[in-house]
Amino acid sequence: MAERYTDPMTGTVEGTVIATHGPLVRVQVQGRTLVVAARRRLRWEGGMPEVPRLVVGDRVIIEMRRGEGVIEGVRQRRTALYRQATHGRRAQVLAANVDQALIVFACQRPEPKRGLIDRFLVACHHAGIDPTLVFNKADLGSDAVQPWIALYRDLGITVMLASARTGRGLGEITRTLSGQTTLFCGPSGVGKSSLLNAVYPGFRLRVGTISEATGKGRHTTSRAELLPLPGGGFVVDTPGLKEFGLWNLTLPDLQAAFPEIASRAGLCRFQDCTHLHEPDCAVQAAAEAGEIDPERFRSYRVLATGILEADRINSDLT
């Protein structure tokens, strides 16, 4: 069985955690799935992480003994996707080593919201994963989003038009997913499951269900799983990912996620300018002159105000 893949020098195999079930862990090893236990004391390469629990996407080293595998070590995580725990302020790690996110919106229905698009883009930047914007349902018309496509491309973001119905853009999506670990995110009803089914008919994901958005019902724990792709790579499938990624976001983090703001910040009078109300602010001047897109600047102001508000509440509490 799995001995075929064992490194003859060390007696170990390396794989990717695709699901966790209490003490047992499902691991993908070179196209096959093993269910193995983990040692109680794992060897965390590069030091113990803040949350020393195995999550999907972790690269693990499995010791093979008489056909039984036990996870003994974990490679250092390249990226970690955080989600604010429902109760308290502790963060949960949802998935490790995610390479990229496909941020899916519909061209028209449900109506794409610029504030939400920018929120996802900030979350990706903060998590260190590459975003790609996908506008689906192009078969119903894409005129409304054409100016946005130009805008986001100018900001250096890859933007695709797609239709799960007509097949438009599916080749491009397949190539983008190949060999990568990809998070599909976006509001419910935009066609994420439909796109995945169209690209990989074997998935047979349920279409038109809202459980992922509400997080209610069976999936209250919102534990993530990785779906292995036929040609290598994974798709992160998790219910309730709407709020992902803004954990621990500081104002400088936020500003860094807006290239059109970061590139002008050096020209403001104050080095720690929030670009919300200060005099001689190069960013506000550029926005007034129409050099920064008004909706983008609005997204920035909403998120920045939220961060400053939370800081103020925290400092009042301490």
The footprint of ligand GDP (CB under 6 A) covers: 136-137, 139-140, 163-165, 188-194, 207-208
- Quick one: angle between helices 146-154 and 114-127, nearest 10? 30
Nearer to ligand GDP, 77 or 192 (CB): 192
Rounded-to-integer distance, Cα 291 and Cα 285, Å:
9
49 within 8 A of 24, measured Cβ to Cβ: no
| Residue number, nearest CB to Mg ion | 193
273 binds, among Zn ion, ligand GDP, Mg ion, none (CB under 5 to 8 A by kind): Zn ion
Q: Which residue in the set 100, 142, 181, 193 belongs to the binding site for Mg ion (CB under 5 A)? A: 193
254 binds, among Mg ion, Zn ion, ligand GDP, none (CB under 5 to 8 A by kind): none
- Using CB under 5 A as the binding rule, whether residue 255 contacts Mg ion is answered as no
Least distance to Mg ion, CB of residue 214, Å: 12
140 binds, among Zn ion, ligand GDP, Mg ion, none (CB under 5 to 8 A by kind): ligand GDP
Residues facing 32 on adjacent strands: 29
Least distance to Zn ion, CB of residue 306, Å: 18
Nearer to ligand GDP, 184 or 258 (CB): 184
281 binds, among Mg ion, Zn ion, ligand GDP, none (CB under 5 to 8 A by kind): Zn ion
Nearer to ligand GDP, 136 or 181 (CB): 136
Least distance to Mg ion, CB of residue 104, Å: 10
| Sheet containing 234-237: order of strands | 158-161, 130-136, 100-106, 181-185, 234-237, 225-228
Least distance to ligand GDP, CB of residue 169, Å: 9
Nearer to ligand GDP, 61 or 173 (CB): 173
Nearer to ligand GDP, 244 or 300 (CB): 244
Query: Structure tokens of 158?
Result: 């890859």
Query: Structure tokens of 212?
Result: 């992922």
Across 306-316, b (16+ Cβ under 10 Å) vs e yields: ebeeeeeeeee
Query: Structure tokens of 86?
Result: 């429902």
Rounded-to-integer distance, Cα 220 and Cα 36, Å:
25
What distance separates the 2 farthest-apart alpha carbons in the chain?
71
Between CA 211 and CA 63, with CA 31 as vertex, the angle to 5 degrees is 105
Rounded-to-integer distance, Cα 14 and Cα 69, Å:
11
268 binds, among Mg ion, ligand GDP, Zn ion, none (CB under 5 to 8 A by kind): Zn ion
249 binds, among ligand GDP, Zn ion, Mg ion, none (CB under 5 to 8 A by kind): none
Q: Which residue in the set 134, 283, 286, 287 belongs to the binding site for Zn ion (CB under 5 A)? A: 283
Least distance to ligand GDP, CB of residue 199, Å: 12
Alpha helices in 135-177 (DSSP H): 146-154, 170-177
Whose structure tokens read 């990624």? 245
Nearer to ligand GDP, 163 or 255 (CB): 163
For β-strands 130-136 and 80-84, DSSP reports them as: unpaired
Binding-site string for Zn ion from residue 258 to residue 277, where x marks contact by CB under 5 A and - marks none: ----------x----x-x--
| Residue number, nearest CB to ligand GDP | 191
Residue 84: its H or E element: strand 80-84
Beta carbons within 8 Å of 150's beta carbon, 6+ residues apart: none
Binding site for Mg ion (CB under 5 A): 192-193
